[in-house]
A and B are shown apart, each in its own frame.
Chain A
């Protein structure tokens, strides 16, 4: 799996958009970008994934640059419940049955 780099921590005001960056400059053509998050003392939660097109679901949007070397997870209207550690992972989709490896992630704090 390609290596990812994320800022260790970020703050965002409640109600504003939270933009979480991820660098993955060594990503290969068949690797997807996945985002998970982990709220304190809970299991990780899948958020979204994409290959090269931007993706949106009920939780978030994923913006992937044209060269695919970086991406941004957007939480459009952050709430206090979005406070969590966010993990960006790149991996081949067919390796879904392989173990997940989380880096250090970004600790996002939503402030009232």
Chain B
């Protein structure tokens, strides 16, 4: 079974803090994604990566950056957290162009 883990289930940060969210997968998948999910807005893609050191902007990259130094690890960085970044953050992974995305458990971030 594919295993996708995220560093925290719940996180509380203050406005202006730098926040790191980490995602690790154990299946050697090439593609990894960061989404955020908000009530009424569904899933929105922040960034994705097709390979180590490669990254592509998704639909809402503003205020975020990412890092992929190793194939199994994809980090989402909030450079200066703001209250409108309070959300559920979901990491997903998929092998090449196969069809199924596998998600981590999610990190619920609250920015005060």
Contacts and interface: CB of A to CB of B under 8 A. Distances in A.
Interface of A: 32, 34, 41-46, 49, 91, 93-97, 99-104
12 contacts: A34-B99, A34-B100, A43-B90, A43-B106, A46-B100, A93-B98, A94-B99, A95-B99, A96-B31, A96-B101, A99-B48, A100-B101
B59 A97 contact: no
Nearest to A42: B105
Interface string B55-89: 00011000000000000000000000000000010
A99 B58 contact: yes
A97 B94 contact: yes
B92 A100 contact: yes
Contacts of B88: 41
B108 interface: yes
B90 A99 contact: no
A101 B33 CA distance: 13
Contacts of B90: 43-44
A43 B42 contact: no
Contacts of A43: 4, 90-92, 103-106
Nearest to B89: A43
A42 B105 CA distance: 5
Given A41-B108, A44-B90, A94-B97, A100 B43 contact: yes
B29 to A, nearest CB: 10
Which of A44, A93, A97, A104 has its CB near the most chain B CB atoms (within 10 A)?
A97
Given A42-B106, A93-B99, A103 B33 contact: no
Given A41-B106, A41-B108, A99 B99 contact: no
